[in-house]
Amino acid sequence: MNRLASFIIIVFGAIGLARADELPATLDKPYLGCWLAFADSRDFEFVIGGDGDAELFFIKNRKRLSIGGCTLKIYYVLEEKVKGKGGKTRWISRQMAQDGFEDFGKETAEPPLRKPIGFTATYTGGVKVRITKVFTKDGMEISTEVIDKGESKGELRAGVKILVGDLFRQIDDADLEKRDTESKLEDTEISVRAVGARRTARVKFEDYDVVLTEEFPKGVRAFALESDRYGDHEFQITTANPEFGVIEFLQRKKIIHGFYVNWYPDSEKAGEQDARLLFKVK
């Protein structure tokens, strides 16, 4: 805890001379005491907060897009497989402990390209997960590995949860049938390669009744989303070796109002070189 407190002082001391409008918007939120890494490119900015959560901002005309669901919230998650009624198994989430960080590595506001930056997070039950990032010019690589099972007894998997926000919060469901609604949605599209599929499938937001969990029940190997709401950027995620990881969806609302994209490395491959999430912004 003392180490974390010292780091907060150092970071805010280092940025104290910067103008407020130069700082990542996320840092204005009180639950973020520091960042572990901050990536800056012409297409995106990336912040990791003191609570382990992260946020990616798309850049357009050198300005950060930060309103209207236009950012990506990124969480580092741990799940344990447990048996329920009737002997059926299911995955349950384990919560990251507050201030449960150690082994930060070299903290920096300008992380070097192609060099790993990582930290160890502790979850309920004493489970420890090593999270490592490597920044590139067009994105980043993320790997997660359980290094201490703590008190857990079931199978564990550590991964990344990405919240695709409510890009069209200004559109009520009651307005979906209106003529001008389609034109607002036509420039937003998803591309996926489903598990076992050879070809890429596309889902347009104009097809707002699509439920991703039903369309791709076994998950996908690659995912991309392009939208004018992101300043005409596209973000892509896959595993370094697509067979070493799976991408799953969690969708509770209509697709235009947001959903989760969850990535997990194959439990038998976690820790290997190719069990890395590749995240690119174009």
pLDDT of 166: 92
Could you tell me the residue range of the domain that residue 231 belongs to? Answer: 166-281
pLDDT of 101: 67
pLDDT at 155 over 80: yes
In a domain, 58, yes or no: no
In a domain, 98, yes or no: no
Average pLDDT over residues 137-160: 92
Buried b / exposed e along 233-251 (16+ C-beta atoms within 10 A): bbbbbbbbbbebbbbbbeb
Average pLDDT over residues 74-81: 93
pLDDT of 8: 28
pLDDT of 50: 64
pLDDT at 230 over 60: yes
**Structure-model confidence comparison of residues 147 and 133, the more confident one:** 147
CA distance 86 to 147: 31
Per-residue pLDDT of 11-67, as tens digits, reads 322 333 233 334 344 444 333 334 444 556 678 888 877 667 788 889 888 888 877
pLDDT of 3: 35
In a domain, 253, yes or no: yes
Q: Which of 141, 145, 132 is nearest to 103 (CA)?
A: 132
In a domain, 64, yes or no: no
**Structure-model confidence comparison of residues 25 and 126, the more confident one:** 126
pLDDT of 108: 53
Least confident interval from 8-12, 141-145, 212-216, 221-225: 8-12
In a domain, 267, yes or no: yes
In a domain, 242, yes or no: yes
Domain total for the chain?
Answer: 1
In a domain, 191, yes or no: yes
pLDDT of 267: 82
Q: Chain-wide mean pLDDT for the chain?
A: 80
Whether 42 and 48 have beta carbons less than 8 Å apart is answered as: no
CA distance 37 to 57: 14
0.85 surpassed by pTM: no
